[in-house]
Amino acid sequence: MSDVETGSAPEVRTAYGTVRGAVERGVAVFRGIPYAAAPVGALRFRAPAPPEPWTGVREAVAYGPTAPKRPYAPPLDRLLPDPAVPGDGWLNLNVWTPSPGAAALPVLVWIHGGSLVHGSSAVPVYDGTAFARDGVVLVSVNYRLGVEGFGVFPDAPANRGLLDQLAALEWVRDNIAAFGGDPDRVTVAGESAGAISIAALLASPRSAGLLRRAVLQSGAPAALPPAAGRRTTELIARRLRAPATAEALAAVDPEALLTAQTEVTSGGNPLTGRTSFQIVVDGELLPHDPVAALHAGASAGIDLLTGTNSEEYRLWFVPGGLTERISPLQLRLALLKFRVPNATARTYRANRPGATPGEILGALATDLLLRVPLNRLADARTTAPGSTYVYEFGWPTPVQRLGACHALELGFVFDTLDHPDTRALTGPDAPGELASAMHRAWVDFAAHGDPGWPSWDARRPVTVFGPTAPSLVLAPRDDELRCWKPRRR
């Protein structure tokens, strides 16, 4: 009998030492396994290094340390709980498996979102029990955030957070078979900044052979030139009265550095704009702009599942009252700033009678920054050897009139609607049958490369996970998508 069947603590031998997990709700779980050395001291602002091997058995029942971060600012902190675990060994991961004694099970690696400054694998919404229950080995990953992971310096490698993610995927390749997983059947999934990260990894030659499928949830390919990406680092250094170098900021008290980072990046939101950290085209890990690379065929053989939520903007616009505060004049100024054609704005207004200027702006921004680029990516892959599937999540939460907002789909994908942290966004009565359907689609995609509806072609099929049963819709709101001309890069 297996450890899971007997309920005894399972042990697994990795390349760096043996770990002991626990049996919880019928699956084996291992938490806080280091996949790289702690990025402190001489390793701070460096590429990830292998972890130190250990002797004996390492307990792996508690989440490992999370990267330095601050909670979401009010009022989002009540909607997006973001636990922090102290310690230096941030580069760790968790594994849920039906049984370490299994063989060749599909693997799903989860890369969390959070604008590259928030989030971790310890967020309860990302509990992998349901995936393991349904035959998928779930791996969730921590990576460096903020200036530690994405600050741009002249004396340190860029995109360190992405390098961390690659190191985690290499760990999965080398170790996941010991947990019952198949290293040749790895799906990498992520939401928001996690999806943006995965798009960059897909565009990087270094990801070759590390994954077979990918899921991009509410995050489109994007990257900046290094000079533009360096601006946030320079603002932080200026606030600290220090040179904008890795050597100088490594000497700054970590709490002071985190305070300066928070002050520089606070205000605004991902749709209206703010000072933020971004992935950069560094010429090494990321040789080319990921949009151009993916449209030109990079990772064309990788199966892709991608989509957005119907009202992404409402997470940022509604809690602070932005939907009501934006005036017609402010809407017009925003349309000029984003270079939105008048005809496009007229179409969106006509499709939303009675909508406020803030709601019109939110719908436009959602499509401009998320839905349109992901549809174009799907279009670019119509002749690719890898299949592409598109979804839309449209169930509206009753919480604070947030509707089908950004991040709402996560509890449905992970089938964690019963957790209090999930209910902060979904409310207590979210439909379990919708979670079962959405979770099953992700399981089937990881296992077989087919979530259960037709792949993308000229008909533009989209499965909508809405208030009623999931339904297949051809070219939803195509009149709006046709309004957008390709943006000059």
Active site amino acids: 192, 312, 406
Those residues whose C-beta lies under 8 Å from the C-beta of residue 318, and which sit 6 or more positions away, are: 400, 401, 402, 403, 405
Q: Are 143 and 114 in contact (CB under 8 A)?
A: no
- CB-based burial, 366-399: b 16+ in 10 Å, e otherwise: bbbbbbbbbbbbbebbeebebbbbbbbbbbbbeb
Which of 447, 449, 450 shows the shortest CA–CA distance to 104?
Answer: 447
- The 3 state secondary structure assigned to the chain is CCHHHHCCCCEEEECCEEEECEEECCEEEEEEEECCCCCCHHHCCCCCCCCCCCCCEEECCCCCCCCCCCCCCCCHHHHCCCCCCCCCCCCEEEEEECCCCCCCEEEEEEECCCCCCCCCCCCHHHCCHHHHHCCCEEEEECCCCHHHHHCCCCCCCCCHHHHHHHHHHHHHHHHHHHHCEEEEEEEEEEECHHHHHHHHHHHCHHHCCCCCEEEEECCCCCCECHHHHHHHHHHHHHHHCCCCCHHHHHCCCHHHHHHHHHHHHCCCECCCECCCCCCECCCCCCCCCHHHHHHCCCCCCCEEEEEEECCCCHHHHCCCCHHHHCCHHHHHHHHHHCCCCHHHHHHHHHHCCCCCHHHHHHHHHHHHHHHHHHHHHHHHCCCCCCCEEEEEECCCECHHHCECCCCCCHHHHCCCCCCHHHHHHHCCCCCHHHHHHHHHHHHHHHHHCCCCCCCCCCCCEEEEECCCCCEEEECCCHHHHCCCCCCCC
Tokens of 12: 């697994």
Give the number of other Cβ atoms within 10 Å of residue 436's Cβ: 14
Tokens of 223: 């990257």
Length of the chain: 489
